[in-house]
A and B are shown apart, each in its own frame.
Chain A
Amino acid sequence: MRYLPKSPADREAMLKAIGARSIDDLFAPIPAEYRLNRDLKVPRQMAESEIVDWFRERSRETADGYTNFLGAGAYYHYRPVIIDSLISRGEFLTAYTPYQPEISQGTLQSIFEFQTMMCELTGMEVANASMYDGSTAAAEAAMMACRVTGRSAVAVARSVHPEYREVLATYAHHQGMPLVTVPFNENARLDLNRLEKSITPDTACVLIQSPNFFGTIEDVGAIADIAHKHGALLVVSIAEAVSLGVVEPPRQADIVAMEAQSFGVPLGFGGPYCGVIATREQYVRQMPGRLVGQTTDRNGKRGFVLTLATREQHIRREKATSNICTNQALIALMANIFMTIYGKVGLRELAKQNLAKAAYAVRQFGKHETVLFSGAPRFNEFVVQTSEDPHAINNRLLEHKIVGGLPLKKFYPELGNAALWCCTEMTTRVAIDAAVASVAEREGSTKSSKEPADVQEVVR
C-alpha cells in the first residue's frame, strides 16, 4: 500500500522489538468472536490513475460545463487562483488545530486577520474563528441569544432560508426553545406588525436573514427597534457574503450569523462551507466556537493564541456554550485570502457587478414574466413567477446546458409557479438572454395576458 512507509522486514523487526510473534498478538485484546475474518466489502485497491478516472467520470455526471442560475444559500463566484495555491501548502493543509501556539503562529495570525475582516464587514465588534456553516451558525446564534437574555423563545422570519429554519427547529426541539415564524409582506420583507404581535416577554431574539431568502434586503433598523423595545436581541443571518460589499451591514444587530461560502469557497455540492458568528464585545463570553487573541511571549514579542477557552467543551464539558470542537479553519483561510485579494475597493466593485447583473436580468425577465417583490431593494437574487411549472422550464433549459432558478413551491406553496434566480459576476449577458428566451418560449404570451401576482396571496 503506497501510503504506508514500511517494508515487510521493518514490520518483522518491529514485532521482534516489541516481543510479539505476529501482528495478531497485538489484536488479542479484541475477543476472538468479534474479529473480522473476511475482507471488507469495499472496492479493490486502485491505482492513482484509476482513482482519478473514476472521479472524472462522476464529475462529468455532475453538470460539468453548465451555466447555473442557482443561489439560495450557495453562490457561484469567481475564485482567484492563488486561494488554492496558498491553501494547498502542506503547512496550512496538514496542520491540526493550533493548540501549540509556538509552532502554529501561521494559522493563528491568519485567523486573527479573518476575525478582524469579519468585524469590519459585519459592523460587529468581535467575530469567531468559524462555525460549520451558515445554517448551524444561525441555530447556535439563537441559542446564544437565549443564554444572553435568560429567555427561551425565538421569533424567526419566514424569509430566512428554509433549510436554515429546519436546522434551527432541530436544534431548538430539545432545548425547550419555542419557535414562532413571522410572515413576510408584499415586498418579501418581514411583516413588522406581525413581528410586533409575535414577540412575547420570553422572546430571546428575532432571527432574520438579509438579504433574505428571496434576495430582498430587510429593513434591519426598524426590526432592531422592535426587538430591542421588547428586550429581545436581533440576530441577522447573512447567506450571501458578497452583498456586504455594497449593502449596509446590520450594525443594529446584536449577533450576526454568517455563511462565508461566497468568499472564495467552491460550491462543492453543498460543503464544506464556512459559518461565522460575530457579535458585540459584551456578549463574547457567551459566544460558541474558537477565538484567537493577541498576546505577547516571554520576550514581549507579539503572538497569537486560542483564547477564552473556558467557554468550550474540552474545559467546561456539559456546561460549555456549545459542543463544537472542529470548525472550518481551512475554509476560513480561503475566505480570508479572498477578502484580502478583493479588499476595501474590490469587494465593493464585485458586489456592484452582482447588483448590475441581477438588475439587468430582472428587467429582461420582467418583459415576459412577473418578477415578484419589486417594492424593496434586492441584491443578486429575485423571484420569477411563470404560468408554466418551473420544473418544466428547467428541463428545457438543461437541454441548453443551463440550470435554471430554484422552484419555490416545495418551500413556499403559496407562491405557485415561482422560482428563485441568482446572477453573480460570473453570469454573462448572453446566458441571461438565453435563459430569458427559453423561459418565455412556451409562455406564448406577454405578462399582460397573465393573471397579475396577487400580493395578498403572498402574505402568510
Chain B
Amino acid sequence: MDAVPRPAPGAAIRTGVWLGIAAIAMSFAAYTSALLVRQGGAPDWRHLRLPPLLFGNTVVLLASSATLELGRRGFGRRAPAEGRRWLRITLGLGLLFVAGQVAAWRELAAQGVYLATNPASSFFYVLTGLHALHLLGGITALGYALSRVRGPVLLPPPALDGAALYWHFMDALWLYLLGLLVLRL
C-alpha cells in the first residue's frame, strides 16, 4: 500500500514533451485570439492570397511524420539500420519543409507583401515563422535522438519517443495554422 512504484525510465521525458506541447499550444492559442480580436476590430484587414507552395510544404511535412513512424517501427523490428535510414529521411523532409516555407516567404516578399504591410501579413509571417522556429527545435531533438541510436540498439530510447511525439505535434500545429489561414475566420 505504501509502495508507489517509481515510474519507468523515460516517463519524465514523455511528461516533459507533453508539457512543452501544452505550453506551445497555449502560446498559439494566444496568437489565435490576438488574430481574431485584431481582425474583428479594425477595417484595415486585407486577406492574403496564400502562396500555393504552402500546400506542397504541407504534403512534405505530413510525409515526414509517416517516415518517422517507419523509422520507429524499424527499431521495433530490430532493424536499426533501416530505422536510422528512415530517421535521416525524416530529418531531410523536415529541412525541406523549412526551406519550402522560406521560399513561400520570398514569394510573398516578391509581391511586395512584407511583415508590416497589413495585419493579415503580419500574422502570416509571425505564425509561420514561429512554427518553423519550433520545427527547427524538433529537428534538433530528432538529430539528438538519432545520435543516441548509433550501434546495435535493442529498444528505441525514450528520447526518440519524445522527439517523435513533438514532431507529430508540429504536424498537427501546422495543419491548424493552415486551416486558420485558409478559412479566413
The yes or no verdict on A and B being binding partners is no
A-side residues, CB < 8 A to B, are none
